Structure 1
Amino acid sequence: MMEPASIDSDDVRGRRAHLLLLLAGCAVLFSVNLSGYDLWPADEPRFGEIAREMLDTGDGLVLRVNGEPYKEKPPLLFWAIAFVSVPFGDVTEATARVPSVVAALVTVWCTYALAERMYGRRVALWSAIVLATNVRFWWQARTVQTDMALTACLAVALFAFWRWHERKGVQWLVLFYGAVAGAVYAKGPPGILFPLLMLIAFYWGYREERRRAHPILGTLAVTALIALWWIPARMAGSPGAGELAQGAVASDLFRNIIGRTLLGVSKLQPPWYYFLTLPADLFPWSLFLPYTVMYVWRRRREDDRMRLLLSWIIPAFIFLSISLGKRATYLLPLWPAFAVLISRSLLELAGSPGVRWRKWIGAVWASSIVLLGVAPFALLLTEYRSSWSAELLAFSVCTLIVGGTTSALVIMGKLRALPSAMAGQFAGLAILAAVTVFPVVDVYKSARAFCAPLARLSQDAKTYELYSVGFSREEYVFYSRHFHVPVLTELLPVGDEAPRVRYRQQKQMRKAIAEAARVVPVASFENLTEAELAALGTALAGALEDADVDPRFAREFSTALIEALAEFHEKFANDVPAFFFVQEEDWRWMLGLYEPFQSLAVIHHMSVGNRSVLLVANTTGAELVQSE
């Protein structure tokens, strides 16, 4: 086993200052303009709403969103958001994102510490730089998702395991399994998957050493720590106890362990998916990957340090690649090990006479910056040309200046400082994007402006009912500050086939009527004409008659849908102020199928992301909004 890289005891103060300066720079990089744009769907407003409801109810055991139990994710991130938000009295964009920033800093710190123990301070510095200045890590560091919290816990686990492997101090083994438990609290089963695969690979053929790591006892301890929250939370969140709660636990475990990975219940992707996403996510340091692969291959049997890094990366990468369910963020826990390997290879490359490699990498990097600078001008050729602004122009000009300067240096062959230039340029452009580009994109992605009329009513403690027809999204809950009742989001009671067959048939019918209504010209939904309403009715009648399904099913579906609309309208059109969200494509067929909806008032109509959404009110609700 290799001895850890020496650290001069006389230089401890300088080392601490060095590390603090590094972390301070990363904190700036990750947190600039953190509150300058809203929470973007799908995950950010959902997770912010869960933390807000935790604050409002004082219940940190059962997670809730829109007033209903939420069982998809463990609580660590939501606890952290709620904790940060307590002094401010509410969850804000900044307080929701701060835990991810802190988790990213912990990951940088642990990666630095691991690389320093393994290879010394120079490799440690570059490992931290490579980790902090790539697309995926920077993005996740300022995004409200569970992946960065998972990565931070696993980075602690990886560092603790290496310290235990060096000296066999039991405190490091305890920290290792404690960090694994934290990772499970962050994201569930993936928290134990990465360490388990690493232990199997690292100790392959070393049975006695594996036994000393106590993997079975450690796994049992992790399971016990998770059960302290999981079982009480599921029992408290179930309408009954006993077998019903046990069934909820079993269902959650099946979905998150078997469903998401092996069966692909969400995000189904081909086996080569990560070979496509990794270069973009690890950019710009992915430009060094071909050289890094050759570098690592030559040293694959070098020592325990290399064995640990490869044992962390390769088994997990293979497992995630053969699993059906995939997302680019699933690879994020591999980033610390990637950073150490890339930093070693780029330092060797920087000190070698390999001019061709450096020139190729420099040319691709310079071209990428130039393309990034040109990209905003493409808006002028699209339907989003109105989004063009002085901020985007400033971003483009600055980026093109950087790209032009880099291109000149590449042409002149001044490439010795290429890695330093890449890191600095990435950091500068990332900060510039956060300040200039993100607020422009926010206008397109945020639901705040659309929900503003309802948010004002909620802040004034006005009483009203709220529904969401045909869809249910958490960004509308978060920014309206009011729960809504989903309507027409479940299967209609039509047919006696299996649920999957019924779902497919009803989806086909909904698609047919939506497409028929979509082609009918409507000048303004706030002032529909008799001719437009008649055209909608005619188009829908034809769609129901010509639908490519069994005629009997089509009639039953049409009858059930109209009955559901009538039932909802009767509940909605009362003396209590009431509103509902509805997508334009659904509002069209609702107007054509059930005439009484034509008397309701459209309060707001705008695009939120890729949805054109309307806010509709009954008479009392419209009067309440006008009185504000």
Structure 2
Amino acid sequence: MQKTKLILCFSRYWFVAIILVLSFVGIFDHDLWTADEPRVAEIGREFFDEGVSLAVPQLNGEAFMEKPPLYFWCVALSYKIFGAPSASAARIPSVLFGLGTLIFTYLLAGKMYDRKTAEWSCMVLALSAEFFYIHHKSLVDTSLVFFVTGTVYWLYLSLTADTEKKDRYYRLCYIFATGAFFAKGFIGLAFPVLLFACWILWRRDWQEIRRARLRVGLIIVGSCISLWFWFLWKEGSWEYISTFLIHNNFQRIIPGVGSEYSGGHVKPFYFYLFKFWRAFAPWSILVPAVFFYACRKGFQDKNRLFLCLWFVSGLLMLSLAGTKRTIYIVPLIPAISILTGSWLNDVESRLINGRFARVSQWFILCVCGVLVLALAGVVFKSALYKTVPFVLLMPVVTIGYVFAFRSFVNNRVIKLCGLPVIISLIYILSVLVFVPYINKTNSFRPFCGRLGEIVAAKESTLYAFQPEETTRAVVPFYTGRKLIPVYDLEAAKSLPRENNVLMLVLDKHKDMRNFNSLKTLFPDVILSEVVGKRRNFKLLSN
């Protein structure tokens, strides 16, 4: 009897242990990497500077109005809890937001289907390439995904609950929608609003608009946003508000207006049609079979309809937006993860048994086999085969894949305790082997340490010629000294010459154009170092 209970407990909670290991692996073993991590970590650190308002994020002492402050508050709180700013502490909020997203995905899939589907959905999401990536970086988008998924969860309960429970669920939906705004701006509100509108239009349930009590939602969301805007106006007048609203929201989102946006990432309409397959890898192999099954069954099922509307409406909105990045599609991945998890559960339960399903399973199993071989090949090519993680885990991955392949041959279905475990081990092995190796070349900390020692010894002000965001983030973060930006050659010529002037220069081009334009003014090269593949830093002096 006791043995049966232990087996039942293991069968129910084994995936929790895997998800926890996946969430925390690689969090504590490397420094800040480009492009977004240094910026986020430094903004969180600068909240501790004297005179800095919690309402106005700052980077290198200047207002940073690209994002609302919620995630930066979380980073600052993490620093407070762990005692000091560090790369690891900066990533902890992403880990927690990622786990929260997985919990809401599990709850939503469980409400829609059953516990086994919820487990499948959770594993699919946790092992999706782009979700795994942002889950392990200090990125604002992790908070956006969490609050969007939470908002959608409460929205689903609101739409499907009895009348007497709707008010409570809608209020929770509005609270999480407020969090979605403070995570990344109006785009956080756009996902659930568009989903709600598509649901009403498809089902023609006009009475649901009245039951939603949108006035209450406007009061909850609008009052919080208005309060933040009031603090922005108090700190920087209309300039801060207009920078956030116009430049960093409307010009990025609204089609046509994005052409005036100078922040980059302007991509064509079809951008996500190609990037989605990498973002949802390796499960994107199954997507054609998943949607074929969904279309064949039709959309009379409210759960299937809700998930498809969430994914398709969001994808269309992002495709029409002025700026695009692969990371922007992650708030839609929980929807396609639940659809895929439902399909995989039906396959495992033999409710789906067609040729298309079998070929899709064969394909993803073979691709995972190729990944195991490729991983081993890259490890041997990089001379990392003597590392402890590779020696210990590679035999486990190989044997596990053989057993998973044999199980599929015998049963003709992929099992929850088979392929997902192998993919998890591949992820864990890759992170443990390659991240410390890559950190040796991608870390800014050694260079910034030497830079800080030189500046402290000379007791000089540190200037930077046309510094990019990453430079304005990593140098203050690792040295504790803010840069004074110099944006053109005339400004560099006008600097005081009586004392030693230290000028930091970054060149990303082979012609070294920035260095060549300044070498007559600052002939002495005190420090020169290459970080990554193409960041050539030089510290110059007159």
TM-score for both structures, normalised by structure 2: 0.86
Conservation of the 8 A alpha-carbon contact between 1:402 and 1:425: no
CA distance in structure 2 between the partners assigned to 1:388 and 1:22 by the alignment: 29
- SS across alignment from 2:147: helix
Q: 1:380 to 1:424 in 2, by over 3 A?
A: closer
Mean Cα deviation higher: 92-101 or 352-361: 352-361
- SS across alignment from 1:96: helix
CA distance in structure 2 between the partners assigned to 1:282 and 1:594 by the alignment: 46
Mean Cα deviation higher: 448-457 or 331-340: 448-457
**Match of 2:4?**
none
**Match of 1:3?**
none
Q: 1:410 to 1:224 in 2, by over 3 A?
A: same
Q: 1:19 to 1:453 in 2, by over 3 A?
A: farther
Q: 1:188 to 1:19 in 2, by over 3 A?
A: farther
CA distance in structure 1 between the partners assigned to 2:25 and 2:446 by the alignment: 23
CA distance in structure 1 between the partners assigned to 2:101 and 2:94 by the alignment: 10
Conservation of the 8 A alpha-carbon contact between 1:579 and 1:615: yes
- Superposed CA offset, 1:124-173 (max 9, x none): 11111111111111111111111111111112111212222213422211
CA distance in structure 2 between the partners assigned to 1:129 and 1:183 by the alignment: 24
- Superposed CA offset, 1:532-555 (max 9, x none): xxxxxxxxxxxxxxxxxxxxxxxx
**Match of 2:357?**
357
CA distance in structure 2 between the partners assigned to 1:200 and 1:584 by the alignment: 46
Paired residue for 1:127, among 96, 109, 121?
121
**Match of 1:41?**
34
- SS across alignment from 2:485: strand
| Structure with higher RCO (Cα < 8 A, 6+ apart) | 2
Q: 1:444 to 1:368 in 2, by over 3 A?
A: farther
- SS across alignment from 2:55: coil
**Match of 1:546?**
none
Displacement of 1:480 in angstroms is 2.8
CA distance in structure 2 between the partners assigned to 1:592 and 1:178 by the alignment: 54
Letter in 2 for 1:45: P
Conservation of the 8 A alpha-carbon contact between 2:379 and 2:385: no
- Superposed CA offset, 1:334-383 (max 9, x none): 122212111111122231433663344334443354246436856999xx
CA distance in structure 1 between the partners assigned to 2:10 and 2:214 by the alignment: 37
- Superposed CA offset, 1:271-307 (max 9, x none): 2211111111111211211111012112332232223
Displacement of 1:60 in angstroms is 1.7
Structure 1: 5+ residue stretches without partners: 1-13, 490-560, 619-628
CA distance in structure 1 between the partners assigned to 2:81 and 2:151 by the alignment: 31
1:477 matched to 2:476 = yes
CA distance in structure 1 between the partners assigned to 2:152 and 2:10 by the alignment: 24
Conservation of the 8 A alpha-carbon contact between 1:197 and 1:316: yes
**Match of 1:608?**
532
- Residue pairs, 1:163-562, within 5 angstroms: 163-165=157-159, 166-168=161-163, 169=165, 170-204=167-201, 205-236=204-235, 238=236, 241=237, 245=238, 247-261=239-253, 262=255, 263-264=257-258, 265=261, 266-350=264-348, 351=350, 352-354=352-354, 357-371=357-371, 373-374=373-374, 390-391=386-387, 394=390, 401=398, 405=402, 409=406, 412=409, 415-456=412-453, 463-472=459-468, 473=471, 474-488=473-487, 561=489
Conservation of the 8 A alpha-carbon contact between 1:104 and 1:141: yes
- Residue pairs, 1:547-626, within 5 angstroms: 561=489, 563-568=490-495, 571=496, 573-575=497-499, 578-583=502-507, 585=509, 588-589=512-513, 596-597=520-521, 599-617=523-541
Q: 1:76 to 1:45 in 2, by over 3 A?
A: same
Q: 1:391 to 1:30 in 2, by over 3 A?
A: same
Q: 1:311 to 1:400 in 2, by over 3 A?
A: closer
- Superposed CA offset, 1:361-417 (max 9, x none): 334443354246436856999xxx7x8674499389669836973796399565433
Paired residue for 1:80, among 67, 74, 77?
74
Displacement of 1:456 in angstroms is 4.3
Mean Cα deviation higher: 443-452 or 609-618: 609-618
Q: 1:454 to 1:219 in 2, by over 3 A?
A: same
CA distance in structure 2 between the partners assigned to 1:121 and 1:380 by the alignment: 41
- SS across alignment from 1:203: helix
CA distance in structure 1 between the partners assigned to 2:139 and 2:508 by the alignment: 29
- Residue pairs, 1:47-126, within 5 angstroms: 47-57=40-50, 59-126=53-120
Conservation of the 8 A alpha-carbon contact between 1:366 and 1:403: no
Conservation of the 8 A alpha-carbon contact between 1:447 and 1:475: yes
Q: 1:121 to 1:598 in 2, by over 3 A?
A: closer
- SS across alignment from 1:55: coil
Structure 2: 5+ residue stretches without partners: 1-6
Q: How many residues align?
A: 518
CA distance in structure 1 between the partners assigned to 2:314 and 2:325 by the alignment: 14
